[in-house]
């Protein structure tokens, strides 16, 4: 087993739903933090969902946060405790307005293959 420390980051340039992170099929992941920052003077809302598989394939959505208001020129830490994600689970986010929010997550992937 290998521990892989990494991050995933997005500049939310649209208000469409976008995939922030997908757990590899041979791994599990611990999400330590979800940090969102607003680089404009206008407020914006963020929604995040965890899917138990491929959203396009009909996987179930579980709401992590909904319409969290991020004030202009500020940041927010959205996790109070680590989040465990299982194999092939997907984390998607969307902003209420384009070109305002940046999202960064810190991840520990635990790969179950011998390397």
pLDDT at residue 25, as a whole number: 96
Residue 37, SS3 per DSSP: strand
Number of compact structural domains in the chain: 1
pLDDT in tens, 24-65: 999 999 999 999 999 999 999 999 999 999 999 999 999 999
Domain containing 76: what range? Answer: 2-111
**Angstrom distance (rounded) from CA 78 to CA 89:** 19
**Contact between 90 and 8 (Cβ < 8 Å):** no
Which is nearest to 17 in space by CA: 52, 79, 63, 75?
63
Tell me the average pLDDT of the chain: 96
Q: Is the pLDDT of residue 81 over 60?
A: yes
pLDDT at residue 114, as a whole number: 62
22: CATH: 2.60.120.220
Q: With 0-12 CB in 10 A as exposed, 13-18 as middle and 19+ as buried, what is 28?
A: middle
pTM exceeding 0.85: yes
């Amino acid at each position: 087993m290998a521990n892989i420390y990494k991050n995933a980051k997005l500049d939310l340039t649209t208000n469409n739903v976008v995939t922030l992170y997908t757990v590899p099929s041979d791994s599990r992941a611990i999400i330590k933090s979800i940090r969102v920052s607003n680089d404009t003077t206008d407020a914006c809302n963020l929604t995040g969902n965890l899917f138990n598989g491929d959203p396009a394939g009909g996987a179930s959505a579980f709401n992590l946060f909904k319409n969290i208001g991020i004030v202009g020129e500020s940041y927010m830490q959205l996790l109070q405790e680590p989040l465990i994600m299982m194999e092939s689970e997907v984390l998607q986010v969307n902003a209420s307005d384009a070109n305002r929010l940046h999202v960064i997550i810190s991840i520990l992937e635990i790969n179950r293959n011998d390397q």
